[in-house]
Amino acid sequence: MDYSSCVDTSLDLNISSIRVKSEAPVDAGRSGMAKELKPTFMDFQTKPSSKEETGALVEELNRVGEENRKLTEMLTVMCESYNALRGQLMDYMSKNGEKDPQLMKNHPRNQGKKSLKDKISKAYVRTEAGDTSLTVKDGYQWRKYGQKVTRDNPCPRAYFKCSFAPSCPVKKKVQRSIDDQSVLVATYEGEHNHPHPSMEATPGSNRSLTLGSVPCTASLASSGPTITLDLTKPKSSNDDKSSKPRTDTPEVQKFLVEQMASSLTKDPNFTAALVAAISGRMFQQNNSEKW
């Protein structure tokens, strides 16, 4: 499976917002920038700027477009790396699957017990040091129906059934990793025959977060993962006039955009958001292919 070919790697970085914001003669004392963009833009239309300002803005637009292109390339490279790693993992698992105690479903003993469960996936969840519960918060509702101490692991294994839908056949086994007991290993069997509870509540599964100083929304739309950086929003609502830098010159705006682009590419949170969006999309894609 080649994820790079099926994932839309284009990034919606709200460049249009940047452009509108940049084109407008911004009032430094403004607090609600987004809601005032429209009248400002109208002002711009009725009062054309000088040629120099237009040239600088065009240059800025080109530069931001280039940033977008670079980010797209980075995402493509990440997808390719993911594919490569995934391939290696598959190779490794196919060679060593029977040695992995967690893959007991592959064991002949368990294969004969029931028709082999067609959809088995695993998730590794790191828990806090003092957390002794066998709870993996994945958004679904689970009902625990049993607990056993298995031979290969002194930590008990908990058995859960999906209780969100009565007819849902999905089961989950949760056990602490024998190597690292702060890591919970959740093994899912079967597929949910109902939408994800959180997705049902918020179609598109948008996730809002803040990347450094930039508010961001990672959405998993049908067209592909989209990370939306809302550059029109101020850092915080209590920003006052004194703390806000002047953004009414192209130089300052360029600097700000460069700062944002730079901080985004270096920000681990941004990377995490990318990973979340991409793996979420891949997981979704994977499931849709299986159905």
Where on the chain is the footprint of DNA (CB under 7 A)? 104-105, 108-113, 141-148, 150-152, 157-159, 163, 171, 173
C-alpha to C-alpha distances, 52 to 27, 108, 112, 232, nearest whole angstrom: 20, 75, 77, 24
Q: Which is nearer to DNA, 69 or 113 (CB)?
A: 113
DSSP assignment letter at 166? T
Q: How far is the CB of 170 from DNA (least distance, A)?
A: 11
Q: How far is the CB of 229 from DNA (least distance, A)?
A: 38
Q: How far is the CB of 157 from DNA (least distance, A)?
A: 6
Q: Which is nearer to DNA, 145 or 255 (CB)?
A: 145
Distance in angstroms (rounded) separating the CA atoms of residues 181 and 117: 27
Q: How far is the CB of 12 from DNA (least distance, A)?
A: 38
DSSP assignment letter at 224? E
Q: How far is the CB of 182 from DNA (least distance, A)?
A: 19
Contact status, residue 163 vs residue 143, Cβ threshold 8 Å = yes
Q: Which DSSP helix (H) or strand (E) runs through 61?
A: helix 51-96
Q: Which is nearer to DNA, 50 or 115 (CB)?
A: 115
Query: Would you call 263 exposed, middle or buried from its count of C-beta atoms within 10 A (0-12, 13-18, 19+)?
Result: middle
Q: Which is nearer to DNA, 35 or 113 (CB)?
A: 113
Give SS3 for 128: coil
Distance in angstroms (rounded) separating the CA atoms of residues 172 and 26: 54
Q: Which is nearer to DNA, 54 or 163 (CB)?
A: 163
Distance in angstroms (rounded) separating the CA atoms of residues 19 and 258: 14
